């Protein structure tokens, strides 16, 4: 057994949804005792750090029902079955913002909430931005407003909690470091 591993002895799927599945696992703990784990299965997601030629970060504002308010975020979206993260990143950038990129580079992948969810977000840096032929083409249940903000403006959005998610806060810090390395 791996260090601290919890061995699954029974798993029950309670819910299958469009975005997530919910299951409860009965596990044996490293000390031999048993416990339950409530787990969310998620197909994974991408997020795109898109920087314009005048050093503005492309973001979108949208309503997030889980928090009952609008947030400002970098473009992001869920992986579809069989879709490569790079493809999803380009698709989401174009759908949400109306921009395409000449180049896409992987920045990092990370777990969002490892205590109860298996979601992994793959973050990409998009450069060589240009307006896509079709403009933004959001899903029918998706309502977003395009924003272009400087690093300083983004830091203000973090301070007043309009940027409130980890991927976007990470992106702002990444852009700050990226731009300071360029100077």
Q: Single out the catalytic residue among 41, 86, 92, 140.
A: 140
Is residue 140 among the annotated active site residues? yes
CATH node for 45-181: 3.90.79.10
In whole angstroms, how large is the CA radius of gyration of the chain? 19
In whole angstroms, give the CA distance from residue 5 to residue 103. 40
Residue 91's nearest CA partner among 128, 51, 124, 69 is 124
- Structural domain spans, the chain: 7-41, 45-181
Per-residue pLDDT band at 141 (split at 50, 70, 90): confident
What's the token pair of residue 126? 């998009």
List pLDDT tens digits, range 78-120.
999 999 999 999 999 999 999 999 999 999 999 999 999 999 9
pTM: 0.92
């Amino acid at each position: 057994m791996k260090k601290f591993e919890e061995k699954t002895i029974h798993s029950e799927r309670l819910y299958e949804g469009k975005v997530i599945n919910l299951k409860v696992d009965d596990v044996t703990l490293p000390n031999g005792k048993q416990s339950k784990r409530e787990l969310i299965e998620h197909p994974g997601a991408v997020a795109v750090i898109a920087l314009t030629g005048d050093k503005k970060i492309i973001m979108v504002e949208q309503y997030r029902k889980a928090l009952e308010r609008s947030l400002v975020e970098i473009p992001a979206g869920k992986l579809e079955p069989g879709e490569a993260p790079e493809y999803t990143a380009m698709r989401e950038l174009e759908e949400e913002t109306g921009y395409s990129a000449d180049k896409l580079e992987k920045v990092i992948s990370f777990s969002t909430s490892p205590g109860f969810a298996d979601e992994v977000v793959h973050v990409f840096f998009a450069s060589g931005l240009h307006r896509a032929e079709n403009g933004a083409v959001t899903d029918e249940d998706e309502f977003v407003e395009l924003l272009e903000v400087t690093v300083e403006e983004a830091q203000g959005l973090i301070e007043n909690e309009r940027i409130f998610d980890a991927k976007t806060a990470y992106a702002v810090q990444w852009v700050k470091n990226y731009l300071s390395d360029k100077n």
